[in-house]
Amino acid sequence: MTFTAPTAIADIGVTGLGVMGANLARNLARNGFKVAVHNRSIGRTQRLIADHGAEGEFFPAESVENFVASLSTPRVAIIMVQAGPPTDAVIEQLAAHMDPGDIIVDCGNSQYQDTRRREASLRERGLHFVGAGVSGGEEGALLGPAIMPGGTVESYDRLGPMFEAIAAKADGEPCCTHVGPDGAGHFVKMVHNGIEYADMQLITEAYDIMRTLGMSAPEIGGVFAEWNTGDLESYLIDVTAEVLRHEDAKTGRAFVDILVDRASQKGTGAWTVQTAAALGVPVTGIAEATFARSLSGSVAQRAAAAQTLPGHAEELTVADRTAFIEDVRRALYASKMVAYSQGFELIRAASDEYGWGVKLGEMAKIWRAGCIIRARFLDRITEAYTRDAELPLLLADEFFVDAINDAVPAWRRVVTAAFEAGIPVPAFASSLAYYDGVRAPRSSAALIQAQRDLFGSHTYQRVDMAGTFHTRWSADRAEEQWD
């Protein structure tokens, strides 16, 4: 392959041709767009053209300068590189050759505060910066992902038609919409990933319960396959059924049984939990899912503790296994509702904090296809926010009220049985505890107010009069009003 002198005719460019970047470029080309492509190492550019050049019109560039020069104006350049300093470096390389009005798009998994910083910095230079969350993995990038672009309305006017063309479609509608200004797109993608953590952990806990019932992996896979025909229908339930029924070619054993029980993570779950804590939003299911992965990493520690700390049952015995498995399904569904409710509460809190104006119903709509958490259940969320766009708590919607009420007895039976058998179900249990807590007319936190005032003079409020008060605990214990 030879690199020719650049001509400014490409509709859009992609720099960073790892699997995700290359597949995104191919998706754009397959949909009729002229795509400039560039990579720091020329070999990846050459391989893309050699292997897939016939899929559309590609314009390979050997340098950043030629890459930018090959783009029609106003230029649109997508970055698909590692988050953090590498992204900052590529932004600076591109910006040095761009003109006011041009658009740089970060489609990686960047932290939303980094996106806010970059957007503000480039805005001062007359450039648009868009943080766009992309979900769907390698296959989604090629065949149609869910895309969550932030940035200005003006940048979306230029970028949106291209993204909507390559995005997944649900009921004929593209799974892409303008999320909101600056870091809104990457924030929503972060929460998407946090919900994904919770969903996967809940599924895993359901699997663990059935495994302790003495069921084989293929047998459990069959249960998940059946569940995937009902209200739990989703991509994650589908892949769970598939992997549980997969046989290892080397040993003939169930594939899942020969894997090390350690789940890795890339950090978006932790980002979600940290952000929620800063905003005061209790994303308990996401937090427990994140910490469960951390605990799974302590393989040697767990193996040693298993020899000295008793409690985990070898087998769970129930009177009616079929009925209990149905209880597990209901508990999974209820816990899933809580995870999504917490995620949407977090998006609302950030939208209010930063003035983004995120439309929650639209977020549920664009997650219906292409992304990892796509599920039938998302239609219910869209319907809830259609009924009330300002719904303060998703669980308070009429559908969710009825669905949760129907599931609560089973939910309690499952968590109780797991506790008695020593089966760890942190996501199930924390979701149930959140449900009980969010509907408690009077919580136990009054005691915490009193404790904090005694040891730290942190003050308290009373239910019977306005103002802030402090008791002189170490003196005469008289109460004084501080405002």
Q: Which residues are documented as binding site?
A: 16-21, 39-41, 81-83, 109, 135-137, 192-193, 197, 266, 293, 452, 458
Structure tokens at 41: 């190492």
Q: Are strands 128-135 and 103-106 parallel, antiparallel or unpaired?
A: parallel
Q: How far apart are CA 425 and CA 437, in angstroms?
A: 18
Q: Which residue ranges make up the annotated binding site for NADP(+)?
A: 16-21, 39-41, 81-83, 109
Q: How far apart are CA 402 and CA 417, in angstroms?
A: 24
Provide the angle, in degrees to the nearest 10, between the axes of the packed helices 42-52 and 19-30. Answer: 40
Q: Which residue ranges make up the annotated binding site for substrate?
A: 109, 135-137, 192-193, 197, 266, 293, 452, 458
Residue 71: closest CA among 96, 43, 97? 97
Q: How far apart are CA 85 and CA 155, in angstroms?
A: 24
Phi, psi dihedrals of residue 95, rounded to the nearest 5°: -60, -30
Q: How far apart are CA 228 and CA 329, in angstroms?
A: 11
Catalytically annotated residues? 189, 196
